[in-house]
């Protein structure tokens, strides 16, 4: 059964449709990624799920009960990690953790004990008593994450938790999140980093301009592009028009094209060697060919016509 | 209760870690009280609210009469209020410029001769120190009283003056002086029946309020100018400070800690109440400094400290409620601050905090002022401590607190609306 079920969620700000008819579900122990560029509607979606924003339409169901029917129950089940650092910088990491634990309803003793466990797990125990304002960006991010976990939420909403930190700190946080997922926590993870969605999430929803364009496992999304491989051709393609070449469009899909590079996917599961031969026989000069597994970027490219990084 | 205490503890911890803003909060009432004390003098005990007035007397004649007048300044009641220094003109003016004196009074040469001979108006010179606000004005009034007295004396005892003048200028033996004193005394004795008892007097009386027989038991008001001023100033100050304190709500909103709280709790009122309690505690300390310090500086004996404390506490609930509502309705912190200051000023002025309510325009005084919580507190304190009207402090405090709670509830609704609409700071 899904711990979180979102159905036709919509939100507009005046003329701007920030989120439009978004539906997806997250099961217990599943790490679901919402991938999209900045301004795609990820934070708005997450804010509606967390009860911070009132949706114009649609429903959020948490553990089988509509959020609106019992908002306090839903809030007890959820832990929310905002994109911004929502911490008291004058207080230490321990004090922050204990405070948010106490607010979540833990007894003083439980909050202290949980704070100790989390400080250890997040490798913050050495400086647990120092004010947060003296911490590095990565440490603050870890405290920000920890504050949402003190009350042991069954559903964790993470809004771009690794924005603005160094690769090492990011790896530490991602590893910690994997551990939570292994322990059975349902996690909704929004990001605009392709690598995070590819390596971390079991299922990914691709969001753009407020609409969920596709969702599924990485394999299922790759399947939409062209199975398990795409061909990256480098050469002189200025003025070339694939429509002029007989049979090309029935065999291949041109995912991306510039004067110097084409990204092409085969429409069927033909032999790579055969596909390569056909591509090299095209009436253009090809200097180099790269065969690779399609990434979520290619999926996004196919769905939107532009790269996620653009 | 646990939630509320947790929030309060958090803010107290934050204040301990970053005490500067709150030290400033507490320093402001200290500074305000000190400023008032410096401006209006210092004193302790009954009747010493103004402190002793230090001034110089320059006696350019140095005659028996002027020595008599100088001696009178150090006697009895005058010595309690006045601190005369007898200097020459140069030293007196130098000390005046150094702000050591409130004024200089100069008795001119030939003062005795001219006064006793009745030669034209005799002019005493008063040089006031403008840096000493009220003391020079008091001296001027006293000098006016003295001059009026000397004039009255001259008119009444004019026929005796030639003999006195001769005695002062040419010298006289004890027998002649004794005769002069006796004849002057006999003249004064004829005046006694006009002066003592006075022929006409008045009695001050305040009729008791119909619903309460209590005034008979009351010791009577005893108006205290500084207490009256302090009540109004403190009311406005508490409103300003509540506004400043509750700005932390805007900070919590901007730093997303308020949103994080909202992800854990559906109801926003406890968060606002926690913040209000914290600011209230800080303001109570400030109010203690203002009223306690003001009492010491101006010799005000607060006769109803418990009622006064209840009134201030009730007003603080109103003040934090109003500040929270402004923070909820105005997303921009700077705008909220500016508007809050304006509203506090308007409420203070219209509530009779800056001016006596009697001097307000009639419409305002009769229809608006009675509805304002600022007037409830300022007038409540004035009536309670210095007035003759009975004031039920706890009831008034409850009324203030009730208005404050309603405002806090509205603030919670305002913030909920801000969250729901996704308004960002």
pLDDT digits (tens, 9 = 90+) for B107-150: 888 888 888 887 777 888 899 887 776 788 888 888 888 888 88
Q: Find, in chain B, the residue whose alpha carbon is nearest to that of A67.
A: B266
- The mean per-residue pLDDT over the stretch B73-101 comes to 86
Per-residue confidence (pLDDT) for residue B56, from 0 to 100: 92
Sign of CA dihedral B338, B343, B346, B352: negative
What SS3 state is found at A154? coil
The reply to whether residue A90 touches residue B18, judged by beta carbons under 8 angstroms, is yes
pLDDT score of B41 more than 60? no
Tell me which chain B residue has its CA closest to the CA of residue A51. Answer: B263
Q: Does A51 touch chain B (CB under 8 A)?
A: yes
Residues of B in contact with A100 (CB under 8 A): 260, 264
- Distance in angstroms (rounded) separating the CA atoms of residues A208 and B308: 62
Pick the residue from chain B with its C-alpha nearest to A50: B263
* B383 to chain A, closest Cα gap in Å: 44
Of A71, A45, A68, A60, the C-alpha closest to A205 is A45
For the cut 90, the answer to whether the pLDDT of residue B158 exceeds it is no
Of B110-114, B174-178, B385-389, give the lowest mean pLDDT range.
B385-389
**Smallest Cβ distance to A86: which of B3, B14, B259?**
B259
Cβ-defined contact of A52 to B14 (cutoff 8 Å) = no
In this predicted structure, what is the pLDDT of residue A169? 84
The answer on pLDDT for B43 being more than 50 is no
Is residue B159 scored above 70 in pLDDT?
yes
What span, in angstroms and rounded, lies between the C-alpha atoms of A48 and A68? 11
Query: Does residue B45 have a pLDDT over 50?
Result: no
Q: What is the pLDDT of residue B197?
A: 66
Instruction: Answer yes or no: is pLDDT of B217 > 50.
Output: no
> Which residues, in sequence order, are CB contacts of B317 under 8 Å at separation 6+?
B276, B280, B400, B401, B404, B405, B408
CB contact under 8 A, B255 and A53: no
Chain B residues within 8 angstroms (CB to CB) of chain A: 2-3, 6-7, 10, 13-14, 17-18, 255-257, 259-266, 419-422
How near does any CA of chain B get to the CA of A307, in Å? 29
Residue B223: pLDDT above 80? no
pLDDT one-digit tens code per residue, B272-305: 999 999 999 989 988 888 888 877 877 777 888 8
Query: What is the C-alpha end-to-end distance of chain A, expressed in Å?
Result: 37
Q: Count CA within 13 A, CB hemisphere, residue A42.
A: 27
Predicted local confidence at residue B423, as pLDDT: 55
Q: What is the pLDDT of residue B209?
A: 52
Q: Name the residue with tokens 């006045």.
A: B82
pLDDT-derived band at B212 (thresholds 50, 70, 90) equals: very low
Torsional sign, CA A268, A269, A270, A272 = positive
Cβ B269 vs Cβ B408: under 8 Å: yes
**Could you tell me what percent of chain B has a pLDDT over 90?**
26
What's the mean per-residue pLDDT of chain B?
A: 82
CA dihedral B23, B28, B29, B34 (to 10 degrees): 120
So what's the pLDDT on residue A94? Answer: 96
Whether A63 and A77 have beta carbons less than 8 Å apart is answered as yes
pTM of the model: 0.71
Rounded to an integer, the average pLDDT of B378-402 is: 85
Q: Count interface pairs A-B at CB distance under 8 A.
A: 72
Contact residues, chain B, for A11 at CB < 8 Å: 422
- Return the residue of B nearest to A111 by Cα: B6
For residue B304, what pLDDT is reported? 85
B164, pLDDT greater than 60:
yes
Reading the block at residue A128, the tokens are 């647990």
Residues of chain A where predicted confidence (pLDDT) is lower than 50? none
What's the pLDDT at B46? Answer: 45
Residue A16, chain B, CB below 8 Å: the answer is: no
């Amino acid at each position: 059964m899904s711990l979180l079920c979102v159905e036709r969620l919509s939100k507009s700000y005046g003329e701007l449709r920030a989120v439009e008819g978004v539906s997806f579900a997250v099961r217990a122990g599943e790490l679901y990624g919402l991938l999209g560029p900045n301004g795609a509607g990820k934070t708005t979606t997450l804010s509606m799920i967390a009860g911070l924003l009132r949706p114009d339409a649609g429903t959020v169901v948490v553990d089988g009960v509509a959020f609106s029917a019992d908002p306090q129950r839903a809030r007890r089940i959820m832990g929310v990690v905002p994109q911004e650092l929502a911490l008291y910088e004058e207080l230490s990491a321990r004090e922050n953790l204990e405070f948010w634990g106490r607010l979540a309803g833990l007894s003083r003793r439980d909050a202290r004990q949980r704070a100790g466990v989390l400080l250890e797990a997040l490798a913050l125990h050495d400086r647990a008593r120092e004010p947060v304002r003296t911490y590095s960006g990565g440490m603050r991010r870890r405290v920000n994450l920890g504050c949402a976990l003190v009350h042991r939420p069954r559903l964790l909403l993470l809004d771009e938790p690794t924005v603005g930190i160094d690769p090492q700190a990011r790896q530490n946080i991602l590893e910690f999140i994997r551990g939570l997922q292994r322990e059975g926590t349902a996690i909704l993870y929004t990001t605009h980093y392709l690598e995070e969605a590819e390596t971390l999430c079991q299922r990914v929803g691709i969001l753009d301009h407020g609409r969920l364009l596709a969702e599924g496992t990485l394999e299922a999304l790759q399947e939409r592009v062209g199975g398990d491989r795409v061909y990256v051709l480098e050469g002189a393609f200025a003025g070339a028009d694939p429509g002029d070449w007989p049979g090309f469009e029935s065999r291949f899909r041109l995912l991306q094209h510039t004067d110097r590079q084409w990204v092409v996917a085969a429409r069927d599961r033909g032999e790579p060697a055969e596909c390569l031969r056909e591509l090299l026989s095209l009436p253009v000069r090809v200097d180099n060919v790269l065969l690779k597994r399609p990434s979520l970027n290619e999926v996004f490219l196919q769905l939107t016509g532009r790269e996620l990084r653009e | 209760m646990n939630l509320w205490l947790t929030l309060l503890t958090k803010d107290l911890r934050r204040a301990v870690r970053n005490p500067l803003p709150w030290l400033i909060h507490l320093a402001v009432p200290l500074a305000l009280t000190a400023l008032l004390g410096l401006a209006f003098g210092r004193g302790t005990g009954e009747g010493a609210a103004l402190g002793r007035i230090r001034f110089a007397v320059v006696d350019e004649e140095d005659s028996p009469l002027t020595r008599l007048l100088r001696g009178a300044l150090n006697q009895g009641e005058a010595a309690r209020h006045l601190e005369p220094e007898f200097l020459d003109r140069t030293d007196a003016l130098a000390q005046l410029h150094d702000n050591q004196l409130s004024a200089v009074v100069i008795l001119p040469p030939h003062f005795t001769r001219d006064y006793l001979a009745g030669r034209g108006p005799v002019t005493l010179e008063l040089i006031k120190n403008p840096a000493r606000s009220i003391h020079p004005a008091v001296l001027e009034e006293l000098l006016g009283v003295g001059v009026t007295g000397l004039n009255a004396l001259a008119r009444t005892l004019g026929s005796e003056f030639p003999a006195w003048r001769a005695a002062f200028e040419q010298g006289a033996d004890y027998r002649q002086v004794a005769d002069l004193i006796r004849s002057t005394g006999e003249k004064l004795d004829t005046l006694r029946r006009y002066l003592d008892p006075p022929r006409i007097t008045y009695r001050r009386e305040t009729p008791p309020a119909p619903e309460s027989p209590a005034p008979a038991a009351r010791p009577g008001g005893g108006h205290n100018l500084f207490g009256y001023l302090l009540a109004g100033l403190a009311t406005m100050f508490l409103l300003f400070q509540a506004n400043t304190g509750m700005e932390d709500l805007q900070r919590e909103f901007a730093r997303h800690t308020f949103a994080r709280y909202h992800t854990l709790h559906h109801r926003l009122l406890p968060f606002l109440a926690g913040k209000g309690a914290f600011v209230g505690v800080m303001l109570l300390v400030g109010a203690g400094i203002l009223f306690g310090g003001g009492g010491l500086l101006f010799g005000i004996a607060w006769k109803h400290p418990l009622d006064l404390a209840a009134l201030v506490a009730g007003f603080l609930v109103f003040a934090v409620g109003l500040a929270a509502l402004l923070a909820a309705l105005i997303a921009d912190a700077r705008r909220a601050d500016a508007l809050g200051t304006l509203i506090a000023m308007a409420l203070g002025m219209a509530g009779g905090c800056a001016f006596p309510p009697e001097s307000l325009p009639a419409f305002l005084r009769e229809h608006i002022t009675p509805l304002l919580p600022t007037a409830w507190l300022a007038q409540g304190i004035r009536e309670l401590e210095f007035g003759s009207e009975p004031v039920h402090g706890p009831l008034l405090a409850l009324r203030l607190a009730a208005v404050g709670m309603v405002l806090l509830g509205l603030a919670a609704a305002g913030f909920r609306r801000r969250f729901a609409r996704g308004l960002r700071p």
